[in-house]
Amino acid sequence: MNVAARAANNAIAVNGIRKSYGFGARAVLALDDLTLHIPRGQVYGLLGPNGAGKSTLLRIIAGLVRPDRGHIEILGEPAAPASRRRLGMLIEAPGFYPFLTAREHLEMLARMADTPLPVDAVLKRTGILHAADKKVSGFSLGMKQRLGIGCALVGQPEAIVLDEPTNGLDPDGILEMRALIRELAERDGITVLLSSHLLDEVERVCRRIAILRRGALAAEGDVAELLGRNGRFWLNVDGAEAVSKKLGARAEPANGGLYIAVKQADVPELIASLVAAGIRIHEAKWVKPDLETVFLSETRENRS
């Protein structure tokens, strides 16, 4: 795929972004030549521990912080006011005028953006139609989060950036937010860049993810691929000692059997070799980890 075609397939392209804060010996590197391509029409998860650079990256995409080096492309165009108008954003805690209603906020933003907006439809989709004419001063944090997403949808963006959109939501609200995020991508074709610390939600809703560590890319890819890549092979056999002797450090006793360090593609060959050695296998399975396990593996401090 040539450069132009690849750019056309990306909603957001992060190209060699470097950003540090402070000067000299006290400088703190927030992003370290980060390159990341977010495909169109997907929900893409951005993960990382505190201090990994997620907030800095989102603020650079939004145009609130300038990088020291590198550049951002939005929907195939250099990041600029014109291209950012095609991008909806909810980053950090949304700020509202407390004595305006939810409806008045959306109508005001639509006028400022000079764009028609089906206000009731947006209020309904974000789950606050029942409170459309109530002042925001009486809103819970969760309702403010929903209104923030509604505000991000003003201008009918082709991509939207959401930073911790489930903050303050109860379990039912989280389910509703999950459904909304999926609808944005699957029904409307809107790309969603989702930054969240709720790994279970990210695993459920995102097709691809990136994991940052100390401002650099620790892992990136399809969620299913990352989970499969980090899986482990488990065996229940007669003669576990013989297997341990044969495989050495690759075999680890656990859960009444053995975990074997082996690539998934090499499992059939391993089973054949054990059977040929006269080892009776009672059960064999490939155990996929959850996203939390992968996240901890990729971000632990002693990782080489």
d(CA 289, CA 207): 16
| Positions of E strands within 53-120 | 69-74, 77-78, 87-90
Domain ranges of the chain: 3-227, 232-288
Q: What is the pLDDT along the chain (304 residues), one digit of tens a residue?
A: 455 555 568 999 999 999 999 887 788 899 999 999 999 999 999 999 988 999 999 999 999 999 999 999 999 999 988 898 899 999 877 789 999 999 999 999 888 888 777 888 889 888 899 999 999 999 988 888 889 999 999 888 999 999 988 877 888 888 888 888 998 999 889 999 999 988 988 999 999 999 999 999 999 999 988 887 777 888 888 878 888 877 887 888 877 788 888 877 888 888 898 888 888 888 888 887 788 888 888 887 555 4
* H helix and E strand count, the chain: 12, 14
Is the distance from CB of 34 to CB of 19 less than 8 angstroms? no
The superfamily (CATH) of domain 3-227 is P-loop containing nucleotide triphosphate hydrolases (3.40.50.300)
Query: Does pTM top 0.85 for this prediction?
Result: no
